[in-house]
Amino acid sequence: MHMESSFRCIIWYQYMYKPYPRKHEALHKLTQCLISSSLRSYSQDARERILAENYSLTDTHWKNGRESIMLLIKNGKLLTMTGRNYEKGSVLIKDGKIVKVGEFDPGDEQAMEVIDAEGCWVLPGLVEAHCHIGINEEKKGFEGNDCNESTNPVTPWLRALDAVNPMDSAFHNALSSGITSVMVGPGSANVVGGQFVFMKTHGRCMDKMVVLEPAAMKIAFGENPKTTYEGMSKMPSTRMAIASLLREELFNARAYQVRKKRAVESGEDFEPDFRMECWLPVLNREIPLKAHVHRADDILTAIRIAREFDLKMTLDHCTEGHLIAEEIAESGFPAIVGPSIASRNKIEVQHMDFKTPGILHKAGVKVAITSDHPVSRIQYLPIYAGFAAKEGLGQEEALKAITINAAEICNVADRIGSLEEGKDADIAIFNGNPMETFTTVLYTIIDGKVVYQKENLNA
């Protein structure tokens, strides 16, 4: 406890001087040394706990609400994802929100935290539109795999929120690549897998990381549901059964919706049904179906059913989408393409190709790109976008596919996906083009706080 008290004194002393990164660089470096020395005898868990409770080296706010300090990013090449870019632009941040973007005089920089982004690319934080980070953890085997409840083919009541582990090491990998938010949900073993959650990539408590929940309802077609239940001598073991189970579930949910509406309008008593209540946001078009589809005929089956019930939907993976690009464009449903660098270990992914996003975009389909982590590693999301750019999507659209397009498809573009006034200050600063292999993330910022900074940045 004595060491922890000393640590708190160090933090208090440093905060008497503001803003430390520029006016008191020597004091800042000395304090870093003192902090490291003070915590050396602690276990890793204890060090992390003390830091979390007391101080973040990259925190841009005073503790206990004493004062809110603005963060200025200046001199960067700003790619706002709004159609307007700046070769030497600035972003001003306060209280976790972007308050100004462009070329402007920020005023007295001595009253701000300042990041000089000279020679750097400044983008909105990257968005992963479909993955299983935290719910299918790295290096933990069965214990860390909560992705598929393979005991019942229809489980709409399951919530990814209740299974994501924010301590999964892959979250650090995401931050180190500039990924600030992710859409996370169940896998594709079930015809109906459950509810997705859209969340930020930094934090310890899921309830504080959530942006939107429920964010989508997972459904799956093709090989995965078939192979999961074929050996159990139960439905589904065919594509007919997959479609039938989904239609039956949606039919029952629609009937429940009608009964509930009539009861409410007439003032009659109505007994809620836990299972059917899960479908109301889908039927009310508040959230989309999130359809796992690879083969062209499965894509068309998903479109057919969504149209029958007048539902919103995203076409996830969409591996053979390039074979039916016009039909997908006509449907109006967006596509989340990928992973396009994984193994062709299933028959339905034999036509996997980085040309797919470009072909779909040219046909008029809104496209996002996914790593489908952990099928392929989340930290390489910008590299996957680079491959798609090379194969016909183009640089601008490829960057949109992992920023604003992904945010719009996930129904969170009011908060993230572009550098605009009023949006969350989720920003990634790269030392070059993020889609090039030699490029490095220098800073990742979430809600106005630097949550990742490259080591030895000033060495």
DSSP symbols for 251-303:
HHHHHHHHHHHHHHHHT------HHHHTTHHHHTTSS-EEEEE-SHHHHHHHH
With a CB cutoff of 8 Å and minimum separation 6, the contacts of 66 are none
Homologous superfamily of the 126-416 domain (CATH): Metal-dependent hydrolases (3.20.20.140)
Homologous superfamily of the 66-123+420-459 domain (CATH): Urease, subunit C, domain 1 (2.30.40.10)
Q: Are 361 and 398 in contact (CB under 8 A)?
A: no
Q: How far is CA 185 from CA 15, 37, 156, 334, 404, in A?
A: 41, 41, 12, 18, 20
Q: How far apart are alpha carbons 175 and 50 in whole angstroms?
A: 21
* Among 117, 68, 135, residue whose Cα is nearest residue 96: 68
Q: Are 187 and 132 in contact (CB under 8 A)?
A: yes
Beta strands 70-79; 112-116: pairing state: parallel
Domain boundaries defined on the chain: 2-57, 66-123+420-459, 126-416
**pLDDT, tens digit, 9 for 90 and up, residues 220-272:** 999 999 999 988 888 999 999 999 999 999 999 999 999 999 999 999 999 99
**Distance linking the first and last C-alpha atoms of the chain:** 33
Read off the amino acid at residue 357.
Answer: P
Q: Which residues in 365-398 are b (16+ Cβ under 10 Å) and which e?
A: bbbbbbbbbbbbbbbbbbbbbbbbbebbbbeebb
With a CB cutoff of 8 Å and minimum separation 6, the contacts of 210 are 161, 197, 198, 199
Q: Which residues in 173-193 are b (16+ Cβ under 10 Å) and which e?
A: bbbebbbbbbbbbbbbbbbbb
Residues in the chain: 459
Q: Are 218 and 132 in contact (CB under 8 A)?
A: no
> What pLDDT score was predicted for residue 47?
56
Angle between helices 239-266 and 296-308 (to 10 degrees): 20
**pLDDT, tens digit, 9 for 90 and up, residues 18-43:** 333 444 445 555 555 555 566 566 66
Q: How far apart are alpha carbons 182 and 410 in whole angstroms?
A: 9
What tokens appear for 288 in the block? Answer: 């989309």
What tokens appear for 325 in the block? Answer: 């690009």
What tokens appear for 19 in the block? Answer: 């803003």
Q: Are 102 and 145 in contact (CB under 8 A)?
A: no
**Count of Cβ atoms closer than 10 Å to residue 103 Cβ:** 10
> What pLDDT score was predicted for residue 459?
45
Read off the amino acid at residue 387.
Answer: F
Which residue ranges of the chain lie beneath pLDDT 70?
Answer: 1-68, 139, 456-459
